[in-house]
């Protein structure tokens, strides 16, 4: 199953400059797939030690994934590199996982096998009163004591039999059926570049612990996400083609967060290092804000994926660095992530200044100047930290060159 954990020099250079195209994202995702396979093996080892009752279903799930891998390797890669798969593995390896948590691997295996058109039968867990098949859909299960269901794919479609309940056959998983809700998928296209993302509003592993996740969206709310994404994607493709190319290959899921209760509070967005390719965000208010949020958060995704393959610094957590965008001093890794994300923000305002079709020029120039100064200050501190590896030095050099180009575009003096 494994691919080499390497990043070609060409793609490293593009990432260091703040960009990266579809080929770059393919290289990062190949590394992610290898890492996720290793995590699945680690989960199996943890279950053997801590939850031996979970092992038979885990082994059956792994066998099913291996069988699909022989004929449809891309489908196994798509499933195992989903953000929810990363969050699931992290939950299992934290040490307090239940048997049902471990058994979620069966849901991932069933999704891959179904999409491959294979006939199969496997037991999956019922979590929070429902069973979940990532990228396919979910089904509510009646009865609070139900902990598992058997899923079978045959000529009639997908047959689901919760323990002690009647059998439900779903002939087409893309259509609503008895207690079955298809996965919400957002699709958009602009300038010949398409984007397909999973609007993940129900999977039990859609977010890491501690975040205020939105409950299942109503149909009109999902339609609003689609409408605003259409507009934001038009903007991204026209103004930030390279970033859009990368997103089209590497952005996998959007997870709605609950808005803060305080009137006038800022919208929130986040990424998780365990869930590469996912962006968690509060409902977008308008297209320009969504475009900027996706630019910012996708930078975190790319850098996190790169850092899982290439060491950029020594990981020192003791020293802190004061950056412009946070009140609290940050460790080196966080300062680097912030600088990388805000380099894309500076690029956003550079595009707004040059094209002049979304904001007044004085606002765009002021924002561009501010973020160039903010990133420049952070890069100066990081460069002088003494904690960078040789690869880290190369990465900072690429970021610095891009920053210099942005300064020249707006005639901003060097920091």
Q: Is the pLDDT of residue 154 over 90?
A: no
Place of tokens 């956003």: 348
pLDDT of residue 121: 96
Q: How far apart are CA 118 and CA 111, in angstroms?
A: 10
Tens digits of residue pLDDT in 221-245:
999 999 999 999 999 999 999 999 9
pLDDT of residue 184: 96
Q: Is the pLDDT of residue 311 over 60?
A: yes
CA nearest to 150, candidates 162, 134, 136: 162
Q: Where are the alpha helices (DSSP H) in 286-389?
A: 287-307, 332-355, 361-383
Q: Is the pLDDT of residue 365 over 50?
A: yes
Q: Is the pLDDT of residue 144 over 80?
A: no
% of the chain beyond a pLDDT of 90: 83
Tens digits of residue pLDDT in 257-292:
998 755 554 568 999 999 999 999 999 989 999 999
Instruction: Using pLDDT thresholds of 50, 70 and 90, give the confidence band for residue 415.
Output: very low
pLDDT of residue 99: 93
Tens digits of residue pLDDT in 164-217:
667 889 999 999 988 899 999 999 999 999 999 999 999 999 999 999 999 999
**Structural domains for the chain:** 34-180 (no CATH), 311-415 (1.20.120)
Q: Please tell me whether residue 210 adopts helix, strand or coil conformation.
A: coil
Beta bridge partners of 188: 195
pLDDT of residue 253: 98
pLDDT of residue 141: 87
Q: How far apart are CA 284 and CA 307, in angstroms?
A: 29
Q: How far apart are CA 275 and CA 208, in angstroms?
A: 8
Q: Is the pLDDT of residue 411 over 90?
A: no
Pairing of strands 148-154, 157-162: antiparallel
343 within 8 A of 375, measured Cβ to Cβ: yes
Lowest mean pLDDT among 156-160, 379-383, 394-398: 156-160
């Amino acid at each position: 199953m494994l691919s080499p954990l390497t990043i070609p020099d060409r793609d490293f250079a593009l990432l260091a400059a703040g960009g990266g195209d579809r080929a770059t994202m393919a290289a990062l995702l190949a590394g992610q797939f290898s890492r996720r396979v290793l995590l699945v093996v680690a989960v199996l080892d943890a279950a053997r030690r801590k939850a031996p009752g979970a092992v038979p279903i885990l082994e059956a799930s792994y066998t099913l994934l291996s069988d699909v891998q022989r004929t449809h390797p891309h489908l196994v890669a798509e499933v195992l590199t989903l953000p929810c798969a990363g969050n699931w593995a992290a939950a299992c390896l934290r040490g307090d996982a239940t048997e049902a948590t471990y058994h979620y691997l069966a849901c991932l295996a069933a999704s891959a096998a179904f999409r491959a058109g294979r006939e199969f039968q496997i037991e999956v867990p019922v979590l929070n009163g429902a069973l979940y098949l990532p990228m396919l859909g979910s089904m509510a299960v009646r009865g609070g004591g139900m902990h598992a269901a058997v899923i079978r794919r045959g000529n009639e479609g997908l047959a689901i039999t919760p323990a002690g309940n009647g059998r439900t056959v779903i002939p087409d998983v893309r259509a609503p059926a008895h207690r079955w809700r298809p996965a919400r998928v957002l699709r958009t296209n602009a300038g010949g570049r398409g984007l397909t993302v999973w609007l993940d509003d129900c999977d039990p592993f859609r977010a890491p612990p501690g975040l205020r996740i939105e409950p299942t969206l109503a149909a009109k709310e999902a339609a609003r996400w689609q409408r605003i994404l259409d507009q934001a994607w038009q903007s991204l493709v026209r103004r930030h083609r390279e970033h859009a190319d990368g997103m089209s290959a590497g952005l996998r899921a959007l997870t709605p967060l609950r808005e803060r209760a305080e009137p006038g509070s800022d919208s929130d967005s986040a990424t998780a290092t365990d869930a590469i390719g996912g962006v968690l965000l509060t409902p977008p208010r308008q297209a320009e804000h969504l475009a900027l949020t996706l630019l910012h958060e996708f930078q975190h995704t790319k850098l996190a994926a790169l850092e899982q393959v290439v060491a950029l610094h020594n990981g020192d957590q003791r020293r802190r660095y004061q950056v412009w965008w946070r009140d609290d001093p940050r460790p080196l890794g966080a300062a680097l992530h912030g600088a990388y994300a805000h380099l894309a923000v500076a690029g956003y305002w550079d595009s707004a200044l040059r094209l002049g079709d979304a904001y007044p020029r004085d606002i765009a120039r002021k924002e561009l100047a501010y973020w160039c100064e903010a990133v420049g200050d952070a890069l100066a501190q990081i460069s002088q930290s003494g904690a960078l590896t040789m690869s880290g030095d190369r990465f900072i050099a690429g970021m610095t060159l891009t920053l210099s180009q942005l300064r020249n575009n707006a005639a901003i003096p060097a920091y």
